Amino acid sequence: MTKAERAAYVSRRLAELYPETPIPLDHRDDFTLLIAVLLSAQCTDERVNLITPALFARADTPEAMAKVPVEAIQEIIRPCGLSPQKAKAISGLSKILVAQHGGEVPQTFAELEALPGVGHKTASVVMSQAFGFPAFPVDTHIHRLAQRWKLTTGKNVAQTERDLKHAFPESEWNRLHLRIIFYGREHCSARGCDGTVCEICRTLFPDRRRQVKTKKA
């Protein structure tokens, strides 16, 4: 298969497997989504979903969160890991949203990435899932699978993002990035598949015998 043929098969098969693409992080609005995505850095979505109810019960708007002491935020989110940095970022960005954005989450990459603790991947998730802006957030699952499926050379997540945007129509990006995540977790995980085991890997590369060593992001 050519790269274009592989991309077309991946898109078609994932749409069959995952016709619905619910956002895996529980949230109420764009602000709570932003906080949940920030918390998900180096933490599973499942754990984040266990933590956020208590956090959002304490404060679920920028105005309310800005008034919560950093130490109180940190205590609630401690199980997510990196709690000192994340708590400081949550407090800081909440205050900035109130002071500079009228308590609203901004709808541009530049403004989002200017917020404490918000990198390009977090901004991409918010832009795509909260505001419907075409984006292709790349997490560890997507980075790994894109390499196994030879849709990127995978030197870093920035290159993987560029390659995937080139491989798939813009209209598919928002749903496809979630579908790849779902598939990676269920069928093509770091331990469950090495590039030769799961259905899509075997279909794309039936003659592959050696495992694919993922280049770290």
Q: For residue range 36-87, what is the model confidence (pLDDT) as tens digits? A: 999 999 899 999 999 999 999 999 999 999 999 999 999 999 999 999 999 9
pLDDT, one tens digit per residue, over 19-39 is 999 999 999 999 999 999 999
**Residues with a known catalytic role:** 121, 139
Same domain, 87 and 165: no
> How crowded is residue 174: how many other Cβ atoms within 10 Å of its Cβ?
20
Question: What is this structure's pTM?
Answer: 0.91
Same domain, 120 and 144: no
Say if 209 falls within a structural domain: no
Number of compact structural domains in the chain = 2
Q: Whole-angstrom Cα distance, residue 13 to residue 63? A: 44
Same domain, 195 and 140: yes
